[in-house]
Structure 1
Amino acid sequence: MGRLAAILLGLAYMLCVATADQLKTTNTSSCHHLQLPHGVTGAESLDFYGKNGVYTGVSDGRVLRWGGRAVGWSTFAYNANFSKLPLCSDSSMPSVEKESICGRPLGVRFYRKTGELYIADAYFGLMKVGPAGGEAQVLAKEADGVPFHFVNGLAVDQATGNVYFTDSSLKFTRRSRLNLLALNGVYMCRDNFEIMRNHDDSGRLLKYDARTKLVTVLVANRPYPNGVALSRDGTHLVVAHTGPCEAHRYWLKGPKAGTYELFAKLPGYPDNVRPDTQGGFWVALNRESQQNETAPVPKPKHLVGVRLNADGKEVEELTAAAGVTLSEVAISNGKLWLGSVELDYIGVL
């Protein structure tokens, strides 16, 4: 009986391990669509503050607020050019042709003690607006004397007010105007894919000190740093690197403080990173990885996000219909909120 009990106990253990190793898959095709206002797209990043308040930056350079169905969408924040230049509010002109002038807010995060919203604008730099909204002020446009080229993701330490953010490249902006084509009179745009195509590794991880108002470079010369999130215990940051399909960890505290290490290899090109509710992180995927593929292979499923546990192991994945891309997966009030830099709605699951 003792031997039989041991065998049964071993089988039960293996069954538990196998179950634990199974990856949970959630299909997002049934998510509710929270439509953006007419003429704008690209809710790249999301944050939540106040009653029913959902905040996101969109393609025309503004940060919008959703106040619930009774209120709808309203303008919460904007940059100086948006308020001064008529072309920025001209919906007849494609955003891709004017975003280098009118701005493109990407990461957005609140410092909840003050209600201030920090904004990572790809062109204007690190910005901040008060709890009442309005015109955002530029806090920083350079670090170590080197101007920002592509400010992207950010995280706010709610204990200190310090802001951690990425400058994805020192060589390439998100989009830049090239020569005007004589044949059709439209601008061609060079976009952020040039960073990957050229294997650019000039990106930086930065810190804005809320007390001194100074920006310091934490890590330099990295390939396409994108989204960044602070761990639940405040000991480290997790940074997504889009080109190499990786997430890295930067230690803020403890014996490894100041070191940068691989946290996870990812099955796709990551964008933003957000904490989950269990000490891990949600990583949005713009598309599946095409590294080391000699020819296109039909995909059994279209991955748009993965959840990593505190050790960097994949424990959950999100799938979607072909053509859907995500830039952020965030949790609020027990729901998953899905942002996309390309779509004209926010998904709610």
Structure 2
Amino acid sequence: MSMQPRRWTPPKATPRARETRSVPPLPPVRRLELPGTGPEDVVVAADGRVLTGLENGAILAVDPESGTVEQIAHTGGRPLGLHAEPDGSVLICDFGGGLLRLDKPGGQLEVLVSEVEGKPLNFPSNVVADTDGTIYFSESTRNWPLQQYMGDMLEHSGTGRLMRRDPDGGVEILIDGLDFGNGIVLAPDRSCVLVAETGGYSIRRHWLTGPKSGTTDYFAENLAAFPDNMGLGSDGLVWVAMVAPRNPLLDMLLPLPGILRQLVWAIPEALQPKPARTVWITAYGFDGRLVHDLQHEGTDYAMVTGVAEHNGTLYLGSLSETAVAVVQVP
């Protein structure tokens, strides 16, 4: 599809963006092999199993001890972000289907949101829910399909959104103009909701209560990598999947005339810049303090797009791998 590049001058990358491992490094991962590719997001269900969705449309429940895999649903599309409810139901951001709800493992799928303001939901990305039935979900881009997500990274379209679905079904746009809206975390005290802005190397914060209610600011910015899905850990921290380090070529092209990015997009995909292979996870307190910065080279796993922490164990998902990765927080 045609590209209309938007010029943007990114903040200067920190030295951390050029490093390939942290101190201490992330320990080696254990792989839980799956019958398919692309477990893009991971969440821990109430029964302790790890839920993920594959590129073939399957929703799987994986026993982290035995590795036993059960298919609990099939969306017919491409499941991305997930949210596990205490009652066993699952919210699903499905590329091709919209925002879905699975009532129970093996149960019925219901479409909750398929369009916003009269237009189809293009790229639903991540989702969380409050106990009162309020749902927060993101849309990465209104311009590009999943298969061409790099097109939005180059275009820098600024068409991502954070939205809220009320229990009565009404949808409100909380933040518009995100540079690839992605992972979401709701603060335990409901004071704010966080959304990853992958193309902006940042995490935005939208205030829900208090004197700043209804306003948006930055929770973390000028990150050393592209933040993807996020999750609230059992430790109360905001865990962030860092899919790849910042790309120096992209940083160089973004402020320049858009024709240069159009030329890059026009060359064969095999020759276009590729995300560097790495396994990188960070975690923040709600005061914005960086608590964990864990990385190692992408030899045993790579392209980490999802993370869930539960009782000191990290479960990782990936857009390109055929397994969920398991690693202990050092």
TM-score norm. by structure 1 comes to 0.74
Q: Which residue of 1 aligns with 2:28?
A: 30
- Tell me how far apart the structure 2 counterparts of residues 59 and 76 of structure 1 sit (CA, whole Å): 15
How far 1:259 moved relative to its partner?
Answer: 0.8
Q: Which residue of 2 aligns with 1:263?
A: 219
Q: Which residue of 1 aligns with 2:173?
A: 217
SS in 1 for 2:93: strand
The one-letter amino acid paired with 1:337 is Y
**1:164 and 2:136 matched:** yes
Q: Which residue of 2 aligns with 1:75?
A: 71
Q: 1:31 to 1:68 in 2, by over 3 A?
A: closer
- Identity in percent: 29
Q: 1:160 to 1:291 in 2, by over 3 A?
A: farther
* Structure 2, unpaired ranges of 5+: 1-20, 254-276
Decide whether the 8 Å contact of 2:50 with 2:61 is kept in 1: yes
- Tell me how far apart the structure 2 counterparts of residues 41 and 24 of structure 1 sit (CA, whole Å): 28
SS in 2 for 1:169: coil
Q: Which residue of 1 aligns with 2:261?
A: none
The one-letter amino acid paired with 1:61 is G
Q: Which residue of 2 aligns with 1:244?
A: 200
* Structure 1, unpaired ranges of 5+: 1-22, 83-102, 176-190, 296-300
Q: Which of 223, 231, 240 is 2:187 aligned to?
A: 231
SS in 1 for 2:200: coil
How far 1:29 moved relative to its partner?
Answer: 4.9
- Tell me how far apart the structure 1 counterparts of residues 161 and 47 of structure 2 sit (CA, whole Å): 35
Decide whether the 8 Å contact of 1:282 with 1:306 is kept in 2: yes
- Tell me how far apart the structure 1 counterparts of residues 242 and 124 of structure 2 sit (CA, whole Å): 19
Decide whether the 8 Å contact of 2:279 with 2:298 is kept in 1: no
Decide whether the 8 Å contact of 2:160 with 2:176 is kept in 1: yes
Aligned CA RMSD, in angstroms, stands at 2.3
- Tell me how far apart the structure 2 counterparts of residues 71 and 31 of structure 1 sit (CA, whole Å): 14
How far 1:120 moved relative to its partner?
Answer: 0.5
SS in 2 for 1:219: strand
SS in 2 for 1:304: strand
**1:58 and 2:68 matched:** no
The one-letter amino acid paired with 1:36 is L
Q: 1:328 to 1:70 in 2, by over 3 A?
A: closer
Query: For residues 194-205 of structure 1, what are the structure 2 equivalents within 5 Å?
Result: 194-205=151-162
The structure with more radius of gyration:
1
Q: Which of 67, 92, 110 is 1:137 aligned to?
A: 110
Q: Which residue of 2 aligns with 1:90?
A: none
SS in 2 for 1:134: coil
**1:108 and 2:104 matched:** no
Structure with more relative contact order (C-alpha pairs < 8 Å, separation 6 or more): 2
Query: For residues 7-26 of structure 1, what are the structure 2 equivalents within 5 Å?
Result: 25-26=23-24
Q: 1:273 to 1:334 in 2, by over 3 A?
A: same
- Tell me how far apart the structure 1 counterparts of residues 49 and 91 of structure 2 sit (CA, whole Å): 16
Decide whether the 8 Å contact of 1:111 with 1:161 is kept in 2: no
| Equivalent residue pairs, number | 280
How far 1:315 moved relative to its partner?
Answer: 2.3
